[in-house]
């Protein structure tokens, strides 16, 4: 099951309380206060796991709490710090504060780890309250509460190319031909109910026995759009978030004899739905592809679409995914276009929801990343 949204509650561990104790040993008169500090509570992190591709694990298990710090003890013994918790999420996950809408983290890099809620600092024992004029203090400090948040997780698949178009335009057939992806293919609309990813090798190498793999890119096949999708028609536009990170859009249009729709009108409808979702999608480079060339005997509408794209300055291809006609040229053109489009640069400032100085101070000098991690 593909799940690309989830709401969870995360609570960092509370800090342990400081201890009130006095040193009482033989031959140590007036030993003085010896109450240890409480341990710090465990923090919670999100980590981008390249082996995950869905947020399914957070659909039913929605509450996560890290260990609290242990209380301080006598003989100046500091309590154990709570273990940190790491929550694995797919690469491309965005974390939002559900109450404020603030973007907490954007996990766009495999292995990226982001602090979500910080554990509370442990309280001080009575040893810290001793003064020359107050040599037997009975004061101590309670541990500080850990942070807590209600989060909304949103997955945006990381792909270089997004395939868009009407249902039954041939998107699933194309991705099954150019990659190892095996989506469901059938002769009826809305066969694809969830996005599919495929890795494409543009230069034909296999990567084995010293052979260079060549240029590769990731293609995302999205469920088809229809007119009024931004108003909820069909499957709506809920899957369009997965093309927001792509560098190139490939718009597939069925020009076969069995499709009575005007290809130019179809192009304008889909572009209107993309613009209704996000203006940034309209700024992405686009390649227009006429599909089902093997089933197109009347080329009038095909040529009209070609002339329309020429007037718009859009690159145009005509292919048949079934016979392979024009597919290799299309794949090479996609790779050439991607070579000219720079990849997005990850902003490391999104890794920390707090200023570093505040984190260091509240962590009380411990290296929270090296703390043993509890299985979530």
- pLDDT winner (highest mean) among 9-18, 55-64, 219-228, 337-346: 9-18
Together in a domain, 127 and 178: no
The answer to whether residue 250 is domain-embedded is yes
Question: Residue 207, exposed/middle/buried by CB under 10 A (0-12, 13-18, 19+)?
Answer: exposed
pLDDT of residue 371: 34
Domain assignment of residue 64, yes or no: yes
Q: Is residue 360 part of a domain?
A: no
Q: Are 134 and 236 members of one domain?
A: no
Weakest-pLDDT range from 238-242, 297-301, 334-338: 238-242
Contact 92, 50 (CB under 8 A): no
Lateral strand order in the sheet of 5-11: 63-65, 5-11, 148-155, 93-97, 103-107
Let me know whether 110 and 34 are in one domain: yes
CATH number of the CATH domain containing 37: 2.70.210.12
Contact 364, 40 (CB under 8 A): yes
Asked if residue 319 and residue 172 are part of one domain, the reply reads yes
Domain boundary among 155, 170, 201: 155
For residue 223, being part of any structural domain is answered with yes
Task: Give yes or no: residues 138 and 200 share one domain.
Answer: no
Q: Which two tokens stand for residue 178?
A: 């150019």
Q: What is the pLDDT of residue 183?
A: 62
Residues 38 and 126 in one domain: yes
Q: Are residues 225 and 321 in the same domain?
A: yes
Per the structure, the complete domain to which residue 273 belongs is given by 161-339
* Beta-bridge mates of residue 291: 254
Q: Is the pTM here over 0.85, yes or no?
A: no
Angle at 269 between CA 322 and CA 230, to 5 degrees: 110
123-148 confidence digits (pLDDT tens):
999 999 999 888 889 999 999 999 99
Whether 198 shows a pLDDT value over 90: the answer reads no
User: Would 357 be classed as within a structural domain?
Assistant: no
Looking at the fold, whether 90 and 237 belong to one and the same domain comes out as no
SS3 category, 37: coil
**Is 77 among the domain residues?**
yes
Structure tokens at 321: 């995914």
User: Is the domain of 134 the same as that of 165?
Assistant: no
Write out pLDDT tens, residues 220-256: 888 777 766 656 655 556 677 777 888 899 999 988 8
In a shared domain, residues 179 and 327: yes
pLDDT of 115 strictly over 90: yes
pLDDT tens track for 304-315: 999 999 998 999
Q: How many domains does the chain have?
A: 2
Instruction: Tell me whether residue 366 is in a domain.
Output: no
């Amino acid at each position: 099951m593909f799940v690309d949204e989830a709401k969870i509650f995360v609570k960092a561990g509370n800090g342990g309380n400081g201890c009130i104790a006095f040193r009482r040993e033989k031959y140590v008169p007036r030993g003085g206060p010896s109450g240890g500090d409480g341990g710090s509570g465990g923090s919670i992190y999100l980590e981008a796991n390249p082996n995950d591709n869905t947020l399914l694990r957070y659909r039913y298990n929605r509450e996560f709490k890290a260990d609290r710090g242990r209380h301080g003890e006598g003989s100046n013994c500091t309590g154990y710090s709570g273990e940190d918790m790491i929550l694995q999420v797919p690469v491309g996950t965005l974390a939002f504060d559900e109450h404020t809408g603030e973007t907490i983290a954007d996990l766009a890099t495999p292995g990226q780890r982001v602090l979500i809620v910080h554990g509370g600092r442990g309280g001080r024992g009575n040893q810290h309250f001793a003064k020359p004029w107050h040599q037997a203090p009975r004061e101590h400090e309670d541990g500080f509460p850990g942070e807590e948040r209600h989060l909304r997780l949103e997955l945006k698949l990381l792909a270089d190319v997004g395939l868009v178009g009407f249902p039954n335009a041939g998107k699933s057939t194309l991705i099954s031909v150019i990659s190892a992806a095996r989506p469901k293919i059938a002769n009826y609309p809305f066969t694809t109910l969830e996005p599919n990813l495929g890795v494409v090798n543009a230069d034909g190498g296999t990567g084995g026995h010293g052979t260079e793999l060549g240029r590769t890119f990731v293609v995302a096949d999205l469920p088809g759009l229809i007119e009024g999708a931004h108003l909820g028609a069909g499957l709506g536009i809920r899957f369009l978030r997965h093309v927001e990170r792509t560098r190139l859009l490939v718009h597939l249009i069925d020009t076969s004899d069995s499709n009575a729709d005007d290809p130019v009108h179809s192009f304008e409808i889909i572009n209107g739905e993309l613009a209704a979702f996000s203006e940034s999608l309209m700024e992405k480079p686009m390649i227009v592809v006429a599909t089902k060339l093997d089933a197109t005997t009347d080329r009038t509408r095909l040529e009209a679409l070609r002339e329309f794209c020429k007037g718009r300055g859009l690159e145009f291809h005509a292919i048949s995914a079934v016979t392979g006609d024009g597919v290799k040229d299309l794949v090479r053109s996609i790779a050439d276009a991607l070579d000219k489009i720079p990849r997005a640069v990850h902003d490391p400032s999104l890794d920390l929801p707090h200023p570093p100085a505040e984190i260091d101070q509240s962590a009380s000098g411990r290296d929270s990343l090296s703390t043993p991690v509890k299985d979530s």
